[in-house]
Structures are given as structure tokens and as C-alpha cells.
Structure 1
Amino acid sequence: MDRLMIDCQQLEKVFGAQKAVNAVSFQVPEGELFGLIGPDGAGKTSIFRMLTTLLLPDGGRATVNGLDVVEDFRAIRRQVGYMPGKFSLYQDLTVEENLQFFATVFDTSIQENYALIKDIYEQIAPFKNRRAGKLSGGMKQKLALCCALIHRPTVLFLDEPTTGVDTVSRKEFWEMLSRLKQEGITIMVSTPYMDEATLCERIALIQDGSILSINSPAGIVSEYPKTLYAVRAERMGHLQKALREHASVERVFAFGDYHHITLTPGANQHTVREWLQQAQFEGVELKEITPTIEDCFIHLMH
């Protein structure tokens, strides 16, 4: 069995009357790119903060590289890299000063691990004398990642690293993660973007502090238990209302230019198509489709 770099067993966190993390269990083997996927408020950040020893668990236990997050917190902090969701570097320091500061904290230097950060460093080097607070969102993201890698961590924790970043920068960021994985670094990333889930090797879907499913993206999709259809026509608002009232339609939700629907047992798409045409909906298009991760997430929520 591959060596486990992250091992969570029945992890819990409570804030007042709210259980933010509810008996969460998962394992991440060495070298894996693992995604924690869910909307804001699902519990992702609380899990990250417990694994990086910034929050104490209220129940369960967790280890990072075999070290207990409560008993061995000092050793874990020396080994892991953490990039929080909110830009947290020193905004009044320049790019170069931030990098030098974090290198000093970890008793290393930019030169010592330059091979690891070279691709990222070369992109931000032209701005090395610019204050971090004056950087664009994409450049802030690259600087934060560079600082998190400066000491060559064994595990890299990235909490919603692409939130609020433009599409091009998001794509570049995930390409950087692919290259880092080839260096043998275990990466755990959280995101609310369902399209980014497919870029991970395995994912855990999380909602209201509880894990809904853990599998590869393809495995999650293969577990979808229904035949899924996409339908559109003129007057999409009226179409959604009509579909919800039809006896053959089990569930309907808006999805881009289409409504995605599942049917009740025994129903078929031809019956629905004929009914829509009889109801004088124009331009009816109804087709069977492969579920996305978002479709699977919505199904598991219900």
C-alpha cells in the first residue's frame, strides 16, 4: 500500500451550535493530487486549518506525513506548505522581500530550492521590486504559491487558490500543479469550481461539513444512478415550471443553456418530448447526456 501522507479519521470541528466538520474521514497517499470539492460554507477551510495545525479538532484525529496534528504541530509546520484562500502575504513588502522573508523563516534560501520554484519564479521575477499589494490577482497567486514552496514541503495545502482569478490564470495555475506533482509533492487542493474537480486524481465531495462521496472524477460520474437528459426550448422559464409539474419528470434544475432532468421509473424521453410539443413549446431539444461532477453533486445533495 502507498504511504499515507494525510490520514483523517472521524475529524470534527464545532463553532458554537454549528458543527462545521462532521466526522470526516479520508486518506491521501504520497504523490497524489487530491481535491476537496464543495460550495462556500461546506467545511473545506476548517479541514485545511486543522490539517495545517491552525485549528484544534473537537473530535477524531488526523496525521500529516505520520505526524499527529495536535501532538506534533511544530514538526508539521516545518514540513507543509499552506496557501490560504485569502491572500495573506505582506502587502507592503516587495515580491523579493516576501520570498526572502519566508525563506529565512524556514532556514533556507531561494537558491537552495530554485529548481522546484524556477517556472513560477521566472514569471514573477520581472515584478520583484513591486509591492505585493500592487500585484494583479494572478501574480499574487503565483507569489503565494512560490512562498508556500520555498522550503520544498512534503505536503502542499491549497485552499481555494483560484477563487477570484481570471480563467487564463486558473489554467496556468493547474498546469503548475501538474508539474509540482511530478516532483513527488503530495497536493491537497480545495475549490468550489466543479470543472476543476476533473483535474484531480481523486476528489471528496463535501456539503454541510459531511463527505458525500470519495472517488476519482470518472468514478464519481460512473456512480450516477439515473439516465440524465438535457432539454431546452423557447421560454426556458416556462419550460422549467412545466417540467416540474409533469408526472414523468422526477427532478429538474437549470444548467447553462439547458435544463437537466431525470425521469421517474418507467418513463421515457419520447413521452416527455411529445408532451412538450403538444404544450406548444417551440424549438424543443431533448437528448441523453453524460453527467458532470456538478450533476453528481446535486444528486448526492438530494
Structure 2
Amino acid sequence: DLTVEENLNFFATIFGTTLKKNLHLIEEIYVQIEPFRKRRAGKLSGGMKQKLALCCALIHEPKVLFLDEPTTGVDAVSRAEFWEMLKRLQKRGITILVSTPYMDEAARCERVALIQNGNILQIDTPENVTRSYGKPLFSVKGKDTYRLLLDLRGQPFTERVEPFGEYLHLTTFAGIKMEEIKGFLHKKGHLEAEVSETQATIEDVFLDLM
């Protein structure tokens, strides 16, 4: 198990360069892990491991960077920092191809490919992907989310209903009005349920295409 410094020197050597020569390429990221340069990589936090991996990948100034689920298992703050770093790298002219299970991260990209079981379901900009969702979509919130979910599933007007945080995203068949949904929920005892039209997310589109 190599230290942070040993890992960087190892990858630099593989690509015929040195850490000293190309430090300027990774300096912005390296300053965050430099205090741990003598620590073994296996002892780093998830966020620090990802920053080290990014430094190792950038040490030879690549034209294209491939990242396979780089933020899986990383805390929310480190995830946000990591994506800010990727944006800055993109501005330096590096093409970045990222795989991610997080749809909010996919929305940060210039183009998105939705893939299931090795098949590409759709490729477009995030804006066009969400715009392609041509079905009525409602955001529903109530005190008892689980019972709300069960009551909405199986109803004649429901095409699909999925949890989205503290809300449910309800896709209905064409022609269903919001008042009909509210009336149904009122009869089921969800007297304080909130229903509103909402914009589709990439996750809505992905679930619809599956």
C-alpha cells in the first residue's frame, strides 16, 4: 500500500514524467492532499482517495479523462467539491467522460447517455432529456408518505408513482386534472396532501424508459 507521495511518483514515472515537472497540472487539487503525502492511500477518507486518484490521472496532462463512478461512497460536501474541480478541468480543455448512478450529477454534464443493461436508451443534453418527458407529472406530499404511495399505486389514473425525497412523483395518463387527484386523496383521508404540477428530472425520464 503506497503513500500519497509514492502513488503520485509511481504514476508520473509510468507516463515518463515527474511529479516536480508536472506539479502545476494538479496543484489546485494537490494542495488539499499534500498535508497527507506520507499517509498510506488506504488510510485516506473517501473524498481524499478520490482526489488522489484524480491527481494520478492528471499527472501526465491527458486530453481525455475517464472516470467510473468517482463519487460513489463520498460524502455530499466532497461530492460537490469534486464536481467543481471537474468543471475547472473542463475549462482547461480536458474532455471528461463520467459514469455515475446519481442523476443530479448527470444533470451537471453537457451531454447525457442513459444506459440500462448495456443498452443506450437516450443521448442528449440534460435540458433536452428532461424536455422529452411528455406525460403529466405531479409532485405529491403528505403526512404519511408510505400510505400515500400505496393509495396512489393501482389507481386508474396512475401510470407510475415513485418516491423523490419527501415527495412522490406521480405520472398520470393524459387528461387527468389536478382536482381529480386532490379529490381522490381527500376521500382516502389525506386531507392535508399537497399536489402540484412539476418538471421532470433526468431520473423521471430514466425510469420511464426502463
TM-score by length of 2: 0.95
Which piece of structure 1 moves more, 242-251 or 280-289? 242-251
Number of residue pairs matched? 210
CA distance, structure 2, for counterparts of residue 140 and residue 257 of structure 1: 32
Residue 180 of structure 1 is matched in structure 2 by 89
Within a 5 Å distance, the mapping from 1:12-51 to structure 2 comes to none
Residue 103 of structure 1 is matched in structure 2 by 12
Residue 153 of structure 2 is matched in structure 1 by 244
Structure 2 unaligned regions, length at least 5: none
Deviation at 1:106, TM superposition (A): 0.8
The equivalent position to 1:191 in structure 2, one of 93, 100, 107, is 100
Output one character per residue of 1:60-107: Cα deviation in whole Å (capped at 9) or x when no partner: xxxxxxxxxxxxxxxxxxxxxxxxxxxxxxxx2211111111111111
Output one character per residue of 1:237-269: Cα deviation in whole Å (capped at 9) or x when no partner: 222222123222222122221221122222211
Q: Is the 8 A contact 1:234 1:282 kept in 2?
A: no
Output one character per residue of 1:142-167: Cα deviation in whole Å (capped at 9) or x when no partner: 11111111111111111011000111
The equivalent position to 2:175 in structure 1, one of 266, 273, 285, is 266
Residue 280 of structure 1 is matched in structure 2 by 189
Letter in 1 for 2:206: F
Output one character per residue of 1:29-51: Cα deviation in whole Å (capped at 9) or x when no partner: xxxxxxxxxxxxxxxxxxxxxxx
The equivalent position to 2:138 in structure 1, one of 208, 218, 229, is 229
Q: Is the 8 A contact 2:151 2:188 kept in 1?
A: no
Q: Secondary structure at the match of 2:20?
A: coil
Letter in 2 for 1:94: T
Within a 5 Å distance, the mapping from 1:284-299 to structure 2 comes to 284-299=193-208
Within a 5 Å distance, the mapping from 1:141-180 to structure 2 comes to 141-180=50-89
CA RMSD across the alignment: 1.3
Q: Whose helix proportion is higher, 1 or 2? A: 2
CA distance, structure 2, for counterparts of residue 114 and residue 213 of structure 1: 39
Letter in 2 for 1:298: L
Residue 36 of structure 2 is matched in structure 1 by 127
Letter in 2 for 1:112: K
CA distance, structure 2, for counterparts of residue 298 and residue 109 of structure 1: 46
Q: Is the 8 A contact 1:233 1:285 kept in 2?
A: yes
Residue 205 of structure 1 is matched in structure 2 by 114
Deviation at 1:115, TM superposition (A): 2.1
Q: Secondary structure at the match of 2:153?
A: helix
TM-score by length of 1: 0.67
Letter in 1 for 2:182: R
Output one character per residue of 1:252-293: Cα deviation in whole Å (capped at 9) or x when no partner: 122221221122222211112112212322211100011111
CA distance, structure 2, for counterparts of residue 244 and residue 132 of structure 1: 48
Structure 1 unaligned regions, length at least 5: 1-91
CA distance, structure 1, for counterparts of residue 177 and residue 3 of structure 2: 62
Residue 136 of structure 1 is matched in structure 2 by 45
Q: Secondary structure at the match of 2:42?
A: helix
